[in-house]
Amino acid sequence: MQLQLPEVIEVRGIRVLTTRQIADAYGTTKDKIIYNFNYNKGRYVLGKHYIEVAGEELRRLKRTCENQMSFKYAKSLYLWTEKGALLHAKSLNTDKAWEVYDYLVDFYFRSKEGKTAPTVKETKPSPVQEKKKQELPQMDNPIRILKVLLKVAEDKGIKVNSFPFGTVDSMLKGNHIGIRTEVTVEKACYELAWELSHAFIHYDGGDMIKSPLSKDYNDQATRAADMIMKILNVKMSQM
């Protein structure tokens, strides 16, 4: 699944989503979101699950929000918080809604650094992200190799998806691995092998980004990824 993260909207110090953004992300219609809200309105708490903006606050939002056509003429507006997005996912109860909600939590609502949101200025890559630039190992059948790596990730309980990263090619966060959308299949294979190496070798290393051993972690992951790719390439050539 490719997920184009929504434009970042912050109101009263927290990140929120418009009804249109929720609908587009969850693969449904704005009318369906509104219907589910009205049908379950007793479960939604103002200030907890949604914020209502009007007057000067709304006018200021219209001036600063790049993509505001969906509420250009609105006199008041409901904006959904992280907990509100959860209730909408529960109402829809589709695989896509649940998967997208999971990623919105990690990479939108709680991503104050703007690591994946294209409308936020990117920060300098962390030490764990700064791996050495090198030529990709030989891959005679990268698609089959990618399938094997995805199966390994699945068996370990790791979800893999593509993201429009700006300064990094991949990222490991909890039980999620994100691969930059624009990379080639060969590059995706290597990045996935590299992040899986971290997941298997350094899973108990604590905060790898701030660790004084981050460079060693990277070097170990690089050597492990190279070995994985060579083994898989030999194995695929024998099949």
pLDDT digits (tens, 9 = 90+) for 130-148: 455 567 888 888 899 999 9
**pLDDT per position as a tens digit, 224-236:** 999 999 999 888 8
What are the CB-based long-range contacts (under 8 Å, 24+) for 5-9? 5/104, 5/107, 5/108, 5/116, 5/117, 5/118, 5/163, 5/164, 6/108, 6/117, 7/65, 7/66, 7/67, 7/117, 7/119, 8/108, 8/114, 8/117, 8/119, 8/120, 9/61, 9/65, 9/79
Residues 148 and 86 in one domain: no
Whether residue 30 is contained in a domain is answered as: yes
Report which DSSP code applies to 46: B
Q: Is the pLDDT of residue 123 over 50?
A: no
* Residue 96, domain member (yes or no): yes
Does 84 lie in the same domain as 155?
Answer: no
State how far the Cα of 21 lies from the Cα of 26, in Å rounded to an integer.
8
Domain region containing 52: 9-109
Q: What is the pLDDT of residues 146-190, one digit of tens each?
A: 999 999 999 999 999 887 766 678 888 778 888 888 889 999 999
198 domain-assigned? yes
**Is 70 found in the same domain as 29?**
yes
**pLDDT for residue 208:** 52
* Extended strands (E) in 31-116: 50-54, 76-80
Q: pLDDT confidence of 21, banded at 50, 70, 90?
A: very high
pLDDT over 90 percentage in the chain: 37
Question: Does 151 lie in the same domain as 98?
Answer: no
Confidence of residue 111 (pLDDT cuts 50, 70, 90): low
Residue located via tokens 């992200």: 129
**Would you place residue 108 in the very low, low, confident or very high pLDDT band (cuts 50, 70, 90)?**
confident
Same-domain check for residues 175 and 220: yes
Q: What is the pLDDT of residue 209?
A: 55
Residue 4 domain flag = no
Given 109, 129, 151, the domain boundary residue is: 109
The three-state secondary structure class of 177 is: strand
CB neighbours of 192 closer than 8 A, spacing ≥ 6? 146, 149, 150, 153, 160, 170, 177, 179
Considering the domain architecture, whether residues 89 and 148 belong to the same structural domain is answered as no
Rounded CA-CA distance 226/197 in Å is 10
Query: Residue 235: what residue type?
Result: K
pLDDT tens per residue, range 29-39: 999 999 999 99
Residue type, 30: K
Q: Do 146 and 88 share a structural domain? A: no
At 54, phi and psi to the nearest 5? -155, 175
Residues 182, 231 within the same domain: yes
Q: What is the pLDDT of residue 13?
A: 87
Question: Would you state the pLDDT for residue 112?
Answer: 53
Is residue 54 one of the residues assigned to a domain? yes
Query: How far is C-alpha 73 from the geometric centre of its chain's CA atoms?
Result: 31
CA contacts within 13 A on the Cβ side of 156: 21
95 and 153 share a domain? no
Whether 197 and 221 have beta carbons less than 8 Å apart is answered as yes
| Confidence category of residue 118, pLDDT binned at 50, 70, 90 | very low
Q: At what angle do helices 30-39 and 82-92 cross, to 10 degrees?
A: 90
Q: How far, in Å, CA of 174 to CA of 61, rounded?
A: 33
Q: Are residues 82 and 153 both part of a single domain?
A: no
Report DSSP state, residue 2.
Answer: B
Whether residue 147 sits in one domain with residue 100? no
Domain limit, last residue, from 109, 132, 157: 109
What is the reported pLDDT for 113? 45
Q: What is the pLDDT of residue 37?
A: 94
- Considering only residues 164 and 44, tell me which one the structure prediction assigns the higher pLDDT: 44
pLDDT band at residue 120 under the 50/70/90 scheme: very low
Q: What's residue 114's pLDDT?
A: 42
pLDDT at 4 over 90: no
147 in any annotated domain: yes
Q: Looking at the 3D structure of the chain, how many domains does it have? A: 2
Verify that 91 and 20 share a domain, yes or no: yes
Contact indicator for 210, 167 with CB cutoff of 8 Å:
no
Where is the domain boundary, 56, 88, 109?
A: 109
176 located within any domain? yes
Q: What CATH number is attached to the domain comprising 218?
A: 1.10.10.2910
Any domain includes 37: yes
- Residues 49, 54, 59, 62: is their CA dihedral positive or negative? positive
